[in-house]
A and B are shown apart, each in its own frame.
Chain A
Amino acid sequence: MRSVKVIVSFVFTLSLLSFPSSGFQSDELLVDDEEFGLEGSPQPRSPEPIPTRSPPVTAPTRKRHSDLDSDSKIQFSLEHAFGDSDFSPAGTFSARLKTWSHGGQTLTKLRFSRNSFTDEDKEKFKNLLESDDFYRIRIPSNVLSPPGRDFVISSVKARCLPREGLDEHFVIHMEGVNVLAVNYGSPGSCPYPRNLKLPAKWSFSSHTVLKNSEQAPRAPVFTEEILGGENAEGEVVQPPERSFWAKYWMYLIPLGLIVMNAITQAMNMPEEQATGQGQPSAGAVQRGPSSAAQIGRESVNVFFPVNGSYLVWPRPLNTEINLCIKILELKYFVGSRISEVKL
């Protein structure tokens, strides 16, 4: 019996908990807590607010909510104007007012219910669309004592709103209980030139975002780190490990060239053997570059302009430059040999 009681009460609470969300189609904007500024935390990009389609009902649903905890719940109204007409009520924002221990007050859980357009409104809006005029909205600059010092106004070209229905996007910039500014517009792009397009449905789908100020990053203070960094640098200055190719390319390229030369000569060999045997130099070619160099010693002195002297081939290969020079010379030498042979 006891367990049954427990289960019953559990089910009951569950149903209680789930009741508000299942009882009606909420127009609530489920905004992440990050939007309300956990102060100092790095701010990710504002998440896309979940679009909710406000039902075209005349009785606003917020009343049911306000019954639950009316003490910290506040409402403020949205007013709109078509072109230069006067402002008239267009909807209601309701939110929870959170009082912090340090005395600051912020709004959380902003909900919005929009009144649907009356026929007169529709007519006016059509006129706006035709004349590509502004649709203007305003909300009070202080949510506790509206309108505060003044209303904050925002406006958009009416042709930016119609899509499937009427899409609108509010960004409300808050500073405590003060509304700094409201940015109103279409949630997406509004390409220019704006074309006349009548909405298929006269219902608004509203997106709202509350924004508080971000904290600036502090100027970096790292005098110690710099000192530490210098010490570390003084001790171990380890150049990054380089790849085999990066280290030895200057040796590998000449080697490759030598090999290639050897191969070409090896290719030429049978040909030469066929043309003439009598020339001694042709034999030198067969033996590959290293032996070719040995043979060349007897007959060739190369004038080399870099050091301006006759260079007697070969010389000890000790520096890179020398090596490169050698390669060039070698090519020249071998090439000339070959041409001689051909002649």
Chain B
Amino acid sequence: MAIRSFFAPFLFFALCSYSSLTPVLSLYEDQVGLMDWHQQYIGKVKQAVFSTQKTGRRRVIVSTEENVIASLDLRHGEIFWRHLLGSNDVIDGIDIGLGKYVITLSSGGSVLRSWNLPDGQMMWESSLQGPKHSKSLLLVPTNLKIEKDNVIVVFSNGRLHAVSCIDGEVLWNKDFEAESFEALQVIQPPGSDLIYVVGFAASSQFEMYQINARNGELLKHERATFSSGFLREVSLVSSETVVALDSTGSILLTISFQNGEISFQQTPISSLVEDPSGPAVIIPSSVPGIFAIKTNAFTIFIRVIGEGKLEVVEKTNHETTVSNVLPISEGQQAFALVQHAGSEIHLAVKIAHDWDGNLLKESIKMDQQRGLVHKVFINNYIRTDRSHGFRVLIVMEDHSLLLLQQGAIVWSREDGLASVIDVTASELPVERDGVSVAKVEHNLFEWLKGHMLKLKGTLMLASPEDVAAIQSMRLKSSEKSKMTRDHNGFRKLLVVLTRAGKLFALHTGDGRIVWSHFLQSLHKSGTCQSPIGLNLYQWQVPHHHAMDENPSVLVISRCGPSSDAPVVLSFVDTYTGKELNSLSLVHGVVQVIPLPYTDSTEQRLHLLIDSDKHAHLYPTTSEALRIFKREFSNIYWYSVEDHNGIIKGHALKCKCTDEAADEFCFDTRDLWSVVFPSESGKIIATVTRKLNEVVHTQAKVIADQDVMYKYISRNLLFVATVAPKGSGEIGSVTPEESWLVAYLIDTVTGRILHRVTHHGARGPVHAVFSENWIVYHYFNLRAHRYEMSVIEIYDQSRADNKDVWKLVLGKHNLSSPISLFSRPEVITKSQSYFFTHSVKAIAVTSTAKGITSKQLLVGTIGDQVLALDKRFLDPRRSVNPTQAEKEEGIIPLTDSLPIIPQSYVTHALRVEGLRGIITVPAKLESTTLVFAHGVDLFFTQLAPSRTYDSLTEDFSYALLLLTIVALVAAIFVTWRLSERKELQDKWR
């Protein structure tokens, strides 16, 4: 009994949370946007089509690398409508048909869809099949008609289709059986009924098909062989001429197929330019008469002057990007050219046949943090003086999208944030004495007025204007977007690494970008063509020196996907976004292990494992080495080789024996291995506990005054394997030949602590590991439903510490050090439940002290985040819980987990393309910060057991004051009254 008093605080909080059976954390309508923010993005733009004719609202239709089709307002860059296609439905091309339909070709050219331009509703969809996989090309001719029907020409899957623009019906199709034929261009010369399909076959043969556009009849088929072969890019210089390069990249071939006759013209590049410096590539473009090639050093623009004669018009060593072609008047076509020059970009708009004359020449100051211009799309408008004006949409290296007009940036969108790779949270600067932030507190009158308004609101007396005033007051309450640390720890910086390699710091108060930094190591450069950002780690989190040292993060970037490619470490200050330092490593990096040790400047020690199984210690200081040496024999880690189903455990051995190696390099050795049989197990998920998770209590008091000890080990790994057959598509496997095995492995000794088979189950598996429990989600083929299972692990070796006398006399083993080499005595409890949704991500709330009860955050297939109380996933649930169990808060067992609509954290919003959910503890124990990212970003605060430790934001202090005053007055009045009464009584 006395042991209960040890857990009194725990019980108190437990009671708080258990006081209501379903703690719904729904919001009121007017609370939306107080704690949460939501940002919509689209991703890096692949293609843009302008729609400005005859429409009241000027808009641009874009398709992006996140598979989004969106219609953007050309004036402000806002999203009119947006559709996210699935991740396997990659958009190949978009165009506008009939001026009112957006036509998209996706899924490798097999799905053609039409969307209504004003509102984005889908009009029709048709599926285009073909004999083989090929490049897919979309062509929407403006004036090609078959029986009054506008036609869309699609080349996909080795077949040419003509599709009606009205209803998506396939009018005719034509197969290209030739095995190796690879179409490169589909050309429809304006004003004719002919379609040319040109391409290469067998790498050295040029083929041209001439097809009647009305019925798909093959009119002519010509081929010509060029012995030294082609590179796979062509540039269309007129409707009957293309330019290609030979396979060595040194000879230009002008191929003309006028009247069905193919003729080659060879021009060595060296005859045009003195010093070509290496092989060239063609920059794909379709500017009539002009094409561009790129060598290592130069970009060369070459004009074709009839009969295959070539002439160099410009040779530049600046980064240059060419736009699409825009017909501006009869026979005149304009295009834009963007060149970098220092911190400026030069924009030139030229007429296709007149290189030297510029329609427009502007230079625009460009933020260096945006990198190079990747894509340019041009559009024109009529100026007030009836002349042609041009605006261009440019896509930058950091995936941002900008509209330039009249030499200025009209708007910009930070669409890099649509592809977040990694997130970490950082504290804000401490409020200093010198800087007065208190100034924002307005005078007393304002304050009172605000509270009177609030009071009116609570008493339902507020008029609509008052309500609006209250709302706006709440929203702009500068408290939450200050740039300093707050007492409750709600204000933080979210440091976000995007796929483009740009770091952003977002303020948790309102989601604004505090700083952004494009890492030097992630810029595309001569030495590294495709750098990728890998991970973000907290490098230095000062607590003792919080006033004079800034926290910093470590960004690991690698040149290309292979594991032994060169790696760069960059250290970035999180207050300012300045890159403090960067290190180019001589070794590759396979694994990064943040160690639980910090040096005297509070820099965290990191161990980097390279592909030769050497471990490298960072930072490379003698102090770090000293700390590391002390813990040398206590460092263990594991590696998962999921391609061959082996998990291995490692430890450090000694200094590198390599002579070239420095003193921070260590040899490693294998300690254990688990080999999953290749015929029965394929690793599909591995999950560990979060490193920084805090567990408040080891013990769990259960109903009958008994205590169970949680098995809390940081070194547990959850592994899920499925039958190799079961890892394919859903429907490819029967329940009998599909199973899922869940393992709990100790990563120090390699012990399998628990192993359980779910027959008839299959992936994908999403799991979350916290404290002593794991929850995982999978598909049950027998029940045709998704399931969630929970496993809880309890330590039996401490189970006999129940005797009070043992605790009093100190004869317990609760504080003795635990060695994982001891044989573990654990028991597990598990239970499974059905769950309605399929899941995209799963996370768990984390609080500062770990006292508050936990909630699972489930990212559903509908791109929402559902908060599910952990008590629903308690293996001790039973159909008829006893009275004592009910008091403890055990919910009667049901076969499926309830989905309460009010418990959607994202309320009415959707986080399109949800990929991850991150929780960060606030300083206030009851509250946790939740950040969900996908194409959209969403942030909110959650209090899983309600805010039991603070008053809510909209608490009316004025009402409290009034009540107190009224009570005091009432006390005085009644006191007087009773005194008088007493006097009268005494006189009676």
Contact = CB atoms under 8 A, between A and B. Distances in A.
Contact of B817 (A149, A191, A217, A218): A191
A175 B821 contact: no
Contacts of B671: 134, 136, 153-155
A194 B819 contact: yes
A191 B819 contact: yes
B681 A175 contact: yes
A203 B875 CA distance: 44
A241 to B, nearest CB: 13
A216 B680 contact: no
Interface in A127-153: 132, 134, 136, 141-142, 148-153
Nearest to A149: B675
Contacts of B827: 45
Nearest to B651: A134
A181 B822 CA distance: 18
Interface stretch (A70-78, A221-229, A290-298): A221-229
Contacts of B660: none
B232 to A, nearest CB: 40
A183 B751 contact: yes
Contacts of A215: 756-757, 759
Contacts of B633: 132
Given A214-B756, A217-B832, A149 B674 contact: no
Contacts of B759: 215-216
A171 interface: yes
A316 B127 CA distance: 88
Contacts of A188: 822-823
A84 B823 contact: no
B962 interface: no
Contact of A303 (B673, B745, B818, B981): B981
Contacts of A132: 633
A214 B755 CA distance: 6
A147 to B, nearest CB: 10
Nearest to B644: A149
A175 B677 contact: yes
Contacts of A214: 755-757
Nearest to A226: B894
A162 interface: no
B81 interface: no
Interface string B659-687: 00000000001111111111011000000
Contact of A181 (B653, B669, B675): B675
A223 B797 contact: no
Contact of B673 (A150, A217, A222): A150
B752 A186 contact: no
A12 B981 CA distance: 113
Interface string A164-176: 0000010101011
Interface in B957-988: 981
A149 B750 CA distance: 18
B672 A153 contact: yes
B817 A192 contact: yes
B369 to A, nearest CB: 48
Interface in A155-214: 155-157, 160, 169, 171, 173, 175-176, 178-181, 183, 185-194, 211, 213-214
A192 B646 contact: no
Nearest to B828: A214
Nearest to A219: B832
A141 B823 contact: no
Interface in A221-246: 221-223, 225-226
A220 interface: yes
A179 B817 CA distance: 32
Nearest to A193: B817
Contacts of B817: 191-193
Contacts of A156: 749, 821
B988 to A, nearest CB: 10
A178 B757 CA distance: 16
Task: Kindly name the residue among B678, B755, B817, B831 whose own CB sees the greatest number of chain A CB atoms within 10 A.
Answer: B755
A81 to B, nearest CB: 10
A189 B822 contact: yes
Given A141-B675, A183-B749, A213 B822 contact: no
Contacts of A151: 673, 675
Interface residues of B, number: 52
Contacts of A219: 780, 783, 787, 832-834, 895
Interface in B745-768: 745, 749-752, 755-759
Interface string B894-934: 11000000000000000000000000000000000000000
Contacts of A175: 676-677, 680-681
Given A132-B633, A180-B676, A189-B819, A217 B749 contact: no
Contacts of B673: 150-153, 181
Contacts, number: 149
B830 interface: yes
Given A160-B821, A191-B819, A181 B832 contact: no
B816 A191 contact: yes
Contacts of A141: 675, 677
A213 B742 CA distance: 9
B981 to A, nearest CB: 7
A157 B821 contact: yes
B789 interface: yes
Given A220-B893, A222-B879, A303-B981, A190 B677 contact: no
A306 to B, nearest CB: 14
A95 to B, nearest CB: 17
Interface in B664-720: 669-678, 680-681
A186 B895 contact: no
Nearest to A178: B677
Contacts of A152: 672-675
Contacts of B669: 84, 134
Contact of A211 (B680, B755, B789): B755
Task: Kindly name the residue among B674, B780, B821 whose own CB sees the greatest number of chain A CB atoms within 10 A.
Answer: B821
A213 B750 CA distance: 16
B741 interface: yes
A275 B197 CA distance: 130
B672 A171 contact: no
Contacts of A179: 675
A173 B752 contact: yes
B821 A185 contact: yes
Nearest to A169: B823
Contacts of B646: 149-150
Given A132-B633, A154-B750, A217 B831 contact: yes
Contact of A189 (B752, B780, B797, B830): B797
Contacts of A176: 677, 680
B719 to A, nearest CB: 11
A155 B750 CA distance: 9
Contacts of B681: 175, 180
A181 B821 contact: no
Contact of B819 (A134, A183, A190): A190
A191 B817 CA distance: 7
A155 B672 contact: yes
Contact of A217 (B822, B830, B879, B895): B830
A232 to B, nearest CB: 11
B75 to A, nearest CB: 54
Nearest to A140: B675
List 3 A-B pairs, minimum CB-CB distance, nearest first: A178-B677, A189-B822, A219-B832
Given A134-B669, A173-B755, A213-B755, 10 more contacts: A152-B672, A154-B671, A160-B822, A178-B677, A183-B752, A190-B821, A213-B757, A214-B756, A215-B756, A221-B783
17 contacts: A141-B677, A148-B675, A150-B646, A150-B675, A156-B749, A160-B822, A173-B752, A173-B755, A179-B675, A180-B752, A183-B751, A190-B822, A194-B821, A215-B756, A216-B832, A219-B834, A303-B981
Interface of B: 633, 644, 646, 651, 653, 669-678, 680-681, 741-742, 745, 749-752, 755-759, 780, 783, 787, 789, 797, 816-819, 821-823, 827, 830-834, 879, 893-895, 981
